Amino acid sequence: MPIENRGREEIDTSTEHTGSNVWEDFVQGYIPEDPIDIHPQLSLHTAYETDVDPVTYEVLRHRLYSINEEHGATLENVSGSPVAYFAQDFNPTILTATGEVVFQGPYIQFFSPIAELQAKWILENRSENPGIEPGDVFISNDTWVGSTHQPDVFFLAPVFREGELFCWVVNTLHQYDIGGSNAGSFCPGASNVFEEPVPIPPIKVVEGGEVREDLRQMYLRHSRLPQMVGLDFNAQVAGVNVARERINDTIDEYGAETVKGVMHEVLDDAEQKFVRKLEQIPDGTYRGRAYMDGSKTGDTGIYRGEVQIHKEGDTLTFTNENTAPDKDAINCTYAGFRTAIMSVLNPFMMSDAMWVSGGPLRHIEIETTPGTMTHAQWPSGTSNGGTVSVPFVIHLVNNAVNRMLAASENLKRNIITGQNAGGGAVAQAGIDQWGEEFGTMNLDCMSGGIGAAPHRDGVDTGGQYWAPKAPIPNMEHNEQDYPILYLYRSEVPDTGGPGERRGGAGMDYCWKPHKTEQIENVFAASGVLAPLSKGISGYPGGNGRFDVVHDSDVEERFAEREVTQDLTELEGDFERLHSKAHDVQRPDDVSVIRNGGTPGYGDPIERDPERVADDIERGLVTEAAANDIYGVVVERDGDEVAVLDDATEARRSEIRERRLAESTIGGEQ
Amino acid sequence: MAYLCNVDIGGTHTDAVVIDQRGSVTEAKVSSTPDDFSRGFFNALEQGAAKRDLALDELLERTEVVSHGTTVGTNAIIEGEGVDAALVTTRGAEDVMFVMRGGAAVSKGQSIEDVLSFRDASKPDPIVERKRVYGVDERVDCMGDVVVDLNEERVRNVARELARNEVDAVAVNLLWSFLNDSHEVRIEEILEEELPDGTFLTRASDLIPKWGEYERTTATAINAYIGPSTSEYIDRINDGLGERGYDGTLLVMQSGGGVMSAEDAVREPVKTIDSGPAAGIIGCRYLSERLEHENIIAADMGGTSFDIGLLTDGEPITQPNNVINQYEYMIRNVDVDSIGSGGGSIAQVDADTGRLQVGPESAGADPGPACYGRGGTDPTVTDADLLLGFLDPDHFLGGRQHLDESKARDAMSAIGDELGMSPEEVASGVFEIVTAKMADSIRQRTINRGHDPRKFVLYAYGGAGPLHVPAIAPQLDVDTVVVPSGDTSSVWSALGVSSSDFLYRQEVSNITTAPFDPAAVTDSFRAIEDELTERLRAEGFEPDEIDVERYADLRYQAQVHQVSVPVPNGRLDESDMDTVVNRFERKYEDLYGEGAGYTESGFEMVTIRCDVSGRTTKPNLERESSEGEAIPKTETDVLWPSEGRRLATEVYEGTELGPGMTVDGPAIVRMNHTTVAIPPEDECEIDQYDNYVIDIGGE
Amino acid sequence: MTTEIHEYLELDPDARTIACRKCGEEICDADANYKEHAAIRTGPITDAGPVFTPPEKIYDRDPDIEFRQFFCPGCAVLLDYEVVPADEPILHDLEIDVESLRG
Residue A2: per-residue pLDDT: 54
Residue B489: per-residue pLDDT: 47
Helix A54-78 vs helix B574-592: crossing angle, to nearest 10: 150
The terminus-to-terminus CA distance of chain C in angstroms comes to 12
- CA–CA separation, A389 and A383 (whole Å): 9
Q: Is B175 on the interface with A (CB under 8 A)?
A: yes
Tell how strand B692-695 and strand B480-483 pair up. antiparallel
- Residue B71: which pLDDT band, with cuts at 50, 70 and 90? confident
Q: Is C24 on the interface with A (CB under 8 A)?
A: no
Q: If you average pLDDT over residues A73-80, what whole number do you get?
A: 76
Which helix (DSSP H) or strand (DSSP E) does residue A139 occupy? Answer: strand A137-140
Contacts of B137 in chain A (CB under 8 A): 561-563
Residue B23: per-residue pLDDT: 78
Q: In Å, how far is A12's CA from the nearest CA of chain B?
A: 30
Contacts of A77 in chain B (CB under 8 A): 448, 561, 591-592, 596
Name the A residues in 223-262 with CB < 8 Å from any C CB. none
Q: In Å, how far is C72's CA from the nearest CA of chain A?
A: 9
The dihedral formed by the CA atoms of A84, A89, A93 and A99, expressed in degrees to the nearest 10: -120
Other residues' Cβ atoms within 10 Å of the Cβ of residue A587: 18
Using CB atoms within 10 Å of the CB of residue A669, give its burial: 0 to 12 exposed, 13 to 18 middle, 19+ buried. Answer: exposed
Q: In Å, how far is A656's CA from the nearest CA of chain B?
A: 31
Q: Is A491 on the interface with C (CB under 8 A)?
A: no
- Residue A410: which pLDDT band, with cuts at 50, 70 and 90? very high
Quick check: do B and C touch, 3+ CB pairs under 8 A? Answer: no
Residue A669: per-residue pLDDT: 43
Q: Is A565 on the interface with B (CB under 8 A)?
A: yes
Nearest by CB: B102 against A276, A461, A563: A461
| pLDDT at residue B381 greater than cutoff 90 | yes
pLDDT digits (tens, 9 = 90+) for A443-492: 999 999 999 999 999 999 999 999 999 999 999 999 999 999 999 999 99
Other residues' Cβ atoms within 10 Å of the Cβ of residue A127: 22
Domain boundaries, chain C: 3-88
B215 contacts B328 by C-beta, under 8 angstroms: yes
Q: If you average pLDDT over residues B71-75, what whole number do you get?
A: 88
Q: Tell me, rounded to whole angstroms, the distance of Cα A161 from its chain centroid.
A: 34
Q: Do A576 and C58 touch (CB under 8 A)?
A: yes
Q: If you average pLDDT over residues B475-493, what whole number do you get?
A: 79
Other residues' Cβ atoms within 10 Å of the Cβ of residue A640: 11
Q: Do B142 and A433 touch (CB under 8 A)?
A: yes
Name the A residues in 3-62 with CB < 8 Å from any C CB. none
- Residue B699: which pLDDT band, with cuts at 50, 70 and 90? very low
Q: Tell me, rounded to whole angstroms, the distance of Cα B380 from its chain centroid.
A: 26
How many Å is the Cα radius of gyration of chain B? 26
| pLDDT at residue B560 greater than cutoff 90 | no
Q: What is the pTM of this model?
A: 0.95
Contacts of A543 in chain C (CB under 8 A): 52
Q: Do B358 and A58 touch (CB under 8 A)?
A: yes
Q: In Å, how far is C63's CA from the nearest CA of chain A?
A: 8
Q: If you average pLDDT over residues B94-104, what whole number do you get?
A: 96
Nearest CA in chain A to B593: A238
pLDDT digits (tens, 9 = 90+) for A204-263: 999 999 999 999 999 999 998 888 888 889 889 988 998 999 999 999 999 999 999 999
Q: In Å, how far is A272's CA from the nearest CA of chain B?
A: 7
Q: Do A69 and B433 touch (CB under 8 A)?
A: no
Dihedral of alpha carbons B171, B172, B178, B182, sign: negative
A380 contacts A326 by C-beta, under 8 angstroms: yes
Q: Do C93 and A576 touch (CB under 8 A)?
A: no
A518 contacts A583 by C-beta, under 8 angstroms: no
* C-alpha closest to that of A202 among A129, A135, A109: A129
Nearest CA in chain B to A271: B353
Q: Is A417 on the interface with C (CB under 8 A)?
A: no
| pLDDT at residue B42 greater than cutoff 50 | yes
pLDDT digits (tens, 9 = 90+) for A599-644: 999 999 999 999 999 999 999 999 999 999 999 999 998 889 999 9
Amino acid identity of residue A669, one-letter, is Q
| pLDDT at residue B423 greater than cutoff 90 | yes
Angle at C63 between CA C58 and CA C64, to 5 degrees: 120
The dihedral formed by the CA atoms of A639, A641, A647 and A650, expressed in degrees to the nearest 10: 130
Dihedral pair phi/psi, residue B200, rounded to 5°: -75, 120
* C-alpha closest to that of A155 among A171, A134, A177, A132: A171
Q: Is A69 on the interface with B (CB under 8 A)?
A: yes
pLDDT digits (tens, 9 = 90+) for C22-63: 999 999 999 999 999 999 999 999 999 999 999 999 998 899
Q: If you average pLDDT over residues B416-425, what whole number do you get?
A: 94
- CA–CA separation, B586 and B597 (whole Å): 9
Q: In Å, how far is A644's CA from the nearest CA of chain C?
A: 22
| H helix intervals, A419-553 | 475-481
Q: Is B428 on the interface with A (CB under 8 A)?
A: yes
Q: In Å, how far is A416's CA from the nearest CA of chain C?
A: 14
Q: In Å, how far is A549's CA from the nearest CA of chain C?
A: 14
* A625: Cα within 13 Å, side-chain hemisphere: 29
Nearest CA in chain B to A239: B593
Q: Is C20 on the interface with A (CB under 8 A)?
A: no
Nearest by CB: A662 against C28, C41, C48: C41
pLDDT digits (tens, 9 = 90+) for B632-642: 999 999 999 99
Top-confidence residue, A196 or B498: A196
* C-alpha closest to that of B463 among B649, B304, B640, B696: B304
pLDDT digits (tens, 9 = 90+) for A135-159: 999 999 999 999 999 999 999 999 9
- Residue B310: which pLDDT band, with cuts at 50, 70 and 90? very high
- Residue A4: which pLDDT band, with cuts at 50, 70 and 90? low
Residue A557: per-residue pLDDT: 98
Nearest CA in chain A to C100: A283
Q: If you average pLDDT over residues B569-581, what whole number do you get?
A: 97
Name the C residues in 61-90 with CB < 8 Å from any A CB. 61, 63, 65, 69, 71, 73, 75-85, 88
Q: Do A283 and C96 touch (CB under 8 A)?
A: yes
- Residue A79: which pLDDT band, with cuts at 50, 70 and 90? low
Quick check: do A and C touch, 3+ CB pairs under 8 A? Answer: yes
Report chain A's mean pLDDT, rounded to a whole number: 94
- CA–CA separation, C6 and A405 (whole Å): 9
| pLDDT at residue A75 greater than cutoff 90 | no
Q: In Å, how far is B199's CA from the nearest CA of chain A?
A: 21
Name the A residues in 349-368 with CB < 8 Å from any B CB. 350-352, 354-355
Report chain B's mean pLDDT, rounded to a whole number: 92
Q: Out of A250-254, B357-361, B376-380, which region has the weakest mean confidence (pLDDT)?
A: B357-361
Nearest by CB: A603 against C53, C57, C78: C78
- CA–CA separation, A521 and A182 (whole Å): 10
Using CB atoms within 10 Å of the CB of residue B351, give its burial: 0 to 12 exposed, 13 to 18 middle, 19+ buried. Answer: exposed
Name the B residues in 582-601 with CB < 8 Å from any A CB. 591-596, 598, 600-601
Quick check: do A and B touch, 3+ CB pairs under 8 A? Answer: yes
Nearest by CB: A59 against B102, B150, B433: B433
Count H helices and E strands in chain C, helices first: 1, 8
Contacts 24+ apart (CB under 8 A), B153-162: B154/A561, B155/B88, B155/B186, B155/B187, B155/B190, B156/B190, B156/B194, B158/B88, B158/B134, B159/B190, B159/B191, B159/B193, B159/B194, B159/B195, B160/B194, B161/B134, B162/B86, B162/B134, B162/B191, B162/B194, B162/B195
C54 contacts C45 by C-beta, under 8 angstroms: yes
Q: Is B150 on the interface with A (CB under 8 A)?
A: yes
Provide the number of CB pairs (under 8 Å) joining chain A to chain C. Answer: 166
pLDDT digits (tens, 9 = 90+) for A163-209: 999 999 999 999 888 999 887 888 888 899 999 999 999 999 999 99
Q: In Å, how far is C77's CA from the nearest CA of chain A?
A: 7
How many Å is the Cα radius of gyration of chain A? 26
Q: In Å, how far is A155's CA from the nearest CA of chain B?
A: 16
| pLDDT at residue B486 greater than cutoff 70 | no
| pLDDT at residue A438 greater than cutoff 90 | no
Q: Do A407 and C75 touch (CB under 8 A)?
A: no
* C-alpha closest to that of A376 among A186, A151, A144: A144
A626 DSSP assignment? I
- CA–CA separation, B301 and B461 (whole Å): 7
Q: Which of C3, C11, C51 is the best mutation test for A, with the most CBs of A within 10 A?
A: C51
Q: Is A636 on the interface with B (CB under 8 A)?
A: no
Q: Which of B90, B99, B211, B449 is the best mutation test for A, with the most CBs of A within 10 A?
A: B99
Q: Is C18 on the interface with A (CB under 8 A)?
A: no
Dihedral pair phi/psi, residue A558, rounded to 5°: -60, -45
Nearest by CB: C39 against A285, A629, A660: A660
